[in-house]
Amino acid sequence: MQDAINAPFLQFTGRPLVGPGTDGAPGTGQAGGPGGWLWGDGGDGGDGGSGTPGTATSPAGGAGGAGGSAFLFGSGGHGGSGGTAYAGSGAVGGTGGNGGAGGLIFGGGGAGGVGGLGAAGSATAAPGMGGHGGAGGAGGTNHASGGRGGDATISTSGGGTITGGTATGGVGGAGTTGGSGGGGGSGALFANGAGSSASGSAIGGYGGVGTTGGLGGVGGYAQVSASNGGTATGTVSGGYGGAGTTGGHGGGGGNAFLRAYGAGSSASGISIGGAGGAGTAGGYGGSGNYASIRGYSGATVTDGTATGGGGGAGTGGRGGLGGSATLFANGAGSSVATGAATGGVGGAGSTGGIGGAGNIARITAIGGGTVTSSATNGGAGGDGITDGIGGNGGGSTFTANTGGTIDTRTGTGGNGGSGTGLGNTGGNGGAADLTAPPDWMGVDLFGTPGANVP
């Protein structure tokens, strides 16, 4: 009966009267069909086809199909996953399809599709990049949330090499009329196994905007990782949190990880936590997220820099907290050398708002781990502008226990933010905590404290 009702509408408009849209065929990258004019979810996009041998272009993974849109009532369809590139070709993975839009009256946007995996290289072909994640679909017009952006991954193992790859998570879809923005997709770059190496960038997708009092979406996390003898070098950037407009709160930024695990593994590079989204017209700014550089179980991290994401500004509201930053060595033979950790800056609070606090910067050595020639700087507090109050600066701390060693390091507490206007004050500077633990813990600590020590 429903098919008979829908048939003329499909023939003349391409959209049924009622019911869900058709899903795209798997392996084709076909778009999902639209949902019904009255009600019905959009169809899911078909997965992109895997690459095949032969021509110069066919080894690449196919793009995923877009999710179908809803019209009045219904959720958008999910974007299809990007196809995997043909093994050994060095071709790129397919891009994930975008999520479909939610219904005009009610319904959330569809999530973006996951990016396809790039192929490992061969004696004659360099390895390929992973496909970008698809963008999340926009929410409908009535308190609907946007879809999450798709993930993107670049990976090599078994002695493979990836050079100059970029994995970018998809952007979260916008939420409308009080709806939350979708979270950004993740970006990841991996090298696993002796002789494997990866260099490039991993970028978390931006969180979607939350409008008219809605929350901004959380930024996607990003990581560059080496394990089991692999080597990874790169820049890791957590995605920015989406803005929250007209009284809405900004979304938190995404985490950023640079890490090495296992004997013979090594990592170097830059780790930056995602910044929090702004909160406007009385809304709070989103918190920046943490950045970490970590060596585990005999792994080595050199020349690493970790910076916590900045807090989002709050216009009339409180600025977001800055993200923390950590250098971390855990386990016998693990080491972090010539590194720096800087806590994220607190967001400004304007028009009578309070500036967000800067966050802490940490260096930690435990279980026989060693940290040398490294420095921490607590994040500065955000300014309080136009009769606002400045935020406190972040602390700076070193921790060594159970045989851990920290050598030749300095710690600097973050400066307090300024406060403007009659009767308002700036924030306090952060502490630099270089206190040695008890002797029985077998810990070595050397160095001098930096500024702002209470």
Q: Please, which residues bridge with residue 405 across strands?
A: 370, 444
Q: How far apart are CA 137 and CA 169, in angstroms?
A: 14
Q: In the prediction, which pLDDT does 422 show?
A: 40
DSSP lists the bridge partners of residue 18 as 39
Are 139 and 172 spatial neighbours (Cβ–Cβ below 8 Å)?
A: no
The whole-angstrom separation of Cα 281 and Cα 268 is 41
C-alpha dihedral, 170 to 176 to 178 to 182, nearest 10°: -10
Tell me what pLDDT residue 13 has: 85
The pLDDT of residue 232 is 85
Q: Are 437 and 443 in contact (CB under 8 A)?
A: yes
Identify the residue whose tokens are 């260099």: 199
Cα torsion through 204, 209, 214, 220, rounded to 10: 0
Element holding 401 (H helix, E strand): strand 396-401
pLDDT digits (tens, 9 = 90+) for 350-399: 766 677 777 777 777 777 788 777 777 777 777 777 666 777 777 777 67
- Nearest-angstrom CA–CA distance, 407 and 414: 22
Q: Look-up: residue for tokens 């708002």?
A: 353
- Amino acid type, 132: H
What amino acid is encoded at 259 in this protein? R
Mean pLDDT for the chain overall? 74
Measured CA to CA, the distance from residue 200 to residue 187 in angstroms comes to 11
- Taking the C-alpha atoms of residue 454 and residue 450, their distance in angstroms, rounded to an integer, is 11
Looking at the DSSP bridge assignments, the partners of residue 400 are: 365
User: 207, exposed or middle or buried, with CB in 10 Å at 0-12, 13-18, 19+?
Assistant: buried
d(CA 312, CA 166): 26
Structure token digits, residue 298:
């005999």
Residue 435 has which token pair?
A: 């206190």
| Dist CA 401 CA 374 (whole Å) | 17
Q: Is the pTM of this model over 0.85?
A: no
Measured distance CA(162)–CA(181) in Å, rounded: 33
DSSP assignment string, 142-153:
TTBPPPPPPPEE
170, 184 in Cβ contact below 8 A? yes
Strand 396-401 and strand 361-366: the pairing is parallel
Residue 151 near residue 114 (C-beta atoms within 8 A): yes
Give the pLDDT confidence score for residue 24 in this predicted structure.
Answer: 92
Give which of 123, 120, 131 is closest to 192, Cα–Cα: 120
CA 216, CA 274: separation in Å to the nearest integer?
13
- d(CA 307, CA 292) in angstroms, rounded, equals 8
Identify the segments of the chain with pLDDT beneath 70. 1, 50-58, 85-93, 115-147, 150, 176-178, 213, 247-248, 281-283, 316-317, 351-353, 386-388, 398, 400-403, 407-414, 417-454
Report the sign of the C-alpha dihedral through residues 83, 84, 86, 92, in that order: positive
Based on its alpha-carbon atoms, the radius of gyration of the chain, rounded to whole angstroms, reads 25
Phi, psi angle pair for 276, to nearest 5°: -75, 150
- H runs (alpha helix) in 35-184: none
The helix/strand/coil state of 12 is helix
Contact 338, 314 (CB under 8 A): no
